[in-house]
Chains A and B, each alone.
Chain A
Amino acid sequence: MVMDLHVSLPRGLTLANPVIAASGTFGFGPEYSRYVDIGSLGAVSVKGVSPEPWLGNPPPRVWETPMGLLNSIGLQNPGMEVFVRDDLPFLREKGATVIVNIIGHTVDEYARVASRMQGEAGVAALEVNISCPNIKEGGMSFGHDPEQAYQVTRAVRQATDLPVMVKLSPNVTSPALIAQAVEQAGADMISAINTVVGLAIDVEHRRPALGGTTGGLSGPAIKPIALRVVYDVAQSVSIPIIGMGGIASAADVLEFLLAGASAVMVGTVTFQHPGRMQQIIAELPQVLSRGGFRGVSGAVGQALPAASRPQTRGGDL
């Protein structure tokens, strides 16, 4: 049967399929292109880009946990000019749908990156990262307070007419409150969740295992947390949600769609299986079909309480 994997998102953003490479796990594009046809993915969200280069956190930067991965990279990146000069042309040439993940220490820095990407050929959307747990100043704090989340989203909104999604933290009492704030500030979409803040201990050296002390947990361990946040946020805002957190299979994708996500991001599993995203895309039609759906959009939100469920035309599931 013909299965429609297309995803239509605000401001004319259309994805060929709902599987997006998650920011921070896929570099700036060229790194994985030997293993993955990056043009065949729904989109690629590149590693966080700031106005000036960021050094990142001291190593060690990763630590394995049961079914999870703790990282403390600290948003190391070469700055927006190097990204535009060195990586964006490659992404364009490969036909990738590019989401630029933007970061800053101040509201103004976020706005500067947004403004720089405006009109830059090949940039399809922005993802405002207000939720990285590995940055002490700026970064995460914007995602922990509705007023600050509003301010930074507003500034980005005014700097660009690109589609804007805001990436939420699970490390707050109510992600839904933050989601409502960024929706009011003009965000077109929400992406959720960023990593869950955690700590590992290096017993041999009697100290925290990561150079940055705490880190962000990703991988299958956080999938239930992510689903809970997507499910809550979907009932609190009317803009689309890009869900992520521990997705490793097409079956996982369907869970996120049913919980209210319109598309998904896949990250940590790529470290084990570079080709897994393409495999998920290949297997998604069968998984949707088995679930009784004819396309991606028909599945979105179908596990939500009836009052929050998107309207579906009869027989369009």
Chain B
Amino acid sequence: MAGQQFHDGQVDARIVRREEVARDHVELILESPALARAVPGQFAHILTPGMLRRPVSFSRIEPDSGRVGLLFQVVGEGTAWLANCQEGERLDILGPLGHGFAPPDPSRPWCLVGGGVGIPPLYSAAAQWRESAPDVIIGARTREWVLMQKDFEQLGLGVRVTTDDGSWGQAGTVIGPLQEWLEGHADGQVFSCGPTPMLAAVASACRGRAAAQVALEQRMGCGIGACLACVVPARGQTQMEYRRVCTEGPVFLAEELIW
């Protein structure tokens, strides 16, 4: 059908830069003042040739230049199509969507814990609230998938790196360094994003010791709360209930979810 109409909350965003940041990982920089109003942790829901849009969290949010970054891993046909988009092309995006991170309390210690493609949204949080100078712990399976380390360092932040195979930083997962951080910092606050098993371990480590906000991934339909596809189990007032990653999330308090 010719000439797709655009509506409030639907953005026609031009790709101004495309970079392959690692094997199977691409970052697109988009020009869109509307998207650049996003809160770290929110996401863009991107039209692809498939039946569903693809949700991608913002890696960069730059209101002054009106630009945002989307850093994603190629995992299927939709993201493969997205990775092949070129500079100058335009994307049909719904967003910014969802609830992002609540700002950190500057009077309390703050730590970012990211795994793999969960690292980029934490960078946008670090950049947005840089005066609160978080400690940064990032991990990946192997060296080349440790994303955005230099970007964090350019903000002047100390970065601890782990890899599953020991090819970069400390061998192991982010949980070891997080445990050490928790022991050294009372009343801390932790922002985390990564694979769900990693977030479950973060939630467990932080229980009773630090307030944790976690950004979740789930297979998503409409992206705006209508279809109830992207739910996760949460603690309701009297019993378990499902909450929508696209609307109540993607960022939840770790303690409100059932892991």
Residues of A within 8 A of B (CB): 24-27, 31-32, 34-36, 47, 55-56, 58-65, 67-69, 71, 73, 76, 219, 248-249, 268, 270-276, 278-279, 283
Contact = CB atoms under 8 A, between A and B. Distances in A.
B51 A76 contact: no
Contacts of A56: 228, 231, 242
B231 A76 contact: yes
A105 B45 CA distance: 35
B222 A270 contact: yes
What are the 10 tightest A-B residue pairs by CB atom distance, in nearest-first order? A27-B226, A31-B226, A62-B229, A61-B229, A60-B219, A35-B7, A31-B225, A69-B51, A275-B5, A271-B222
B8 A61 contact: no
Contact of A35 (B8, B78, B242): B8
A196 to B, nearest CB: 14
- The dominant DSSP class at the A interface is loop
A248 to B, nearest CB: 8
A36 B224 CA distance: 13
A271 B227 contact: yes
A26 B226 contact: yes
A76 B228 contact: yes
Contacts of A249: 1
Contacts, number: 113
26 contacts: A27-B222, A27-B226, A27-B228, A31-B225, A32-B224, A35-B8, A56-B228, A59-B229, A60-B218, A60-B229, A61-B219, A62-B220, A62-B221, A62-B227, A65-B51, A69-B51, A69-B221, A71-B229, A271-B53, A271-B223, A271-B227, A274-B94, A274-B224, A275-B6, A276-B1, A283-B1
Chain B residues touching A, range: 20 to 34
A200 to B, nearest CB: 11
Contacts of B232: 59
Interface in B1-48: 1, 4-10, 47
A63 B221 CA distance: 9
Among B221, B226, B241, B242, the most chain A Cβ lie within 10 Å of the Cβ of B226
Contact of A73 (B52, B220, B229, B241): B229
B224 A31 contact: yes
Interface string B193-229: 0000000000000000000000000111111111111
B178 interface: no
Nearest to A62: B229
Given A32-B226, A35-B224, A71-B227, 15 more contacts: A27-B225, A32-B224, A34-B8, A34-B224, A35-B94, A60-B218, A61-B221, A62-B221, A68-B51, A71-B221, A76-B228, A270-B222, A271-B222, A272-B51, A279-B5
B217 to A, nearest CB: 11
A32 B242 CA distance: 20
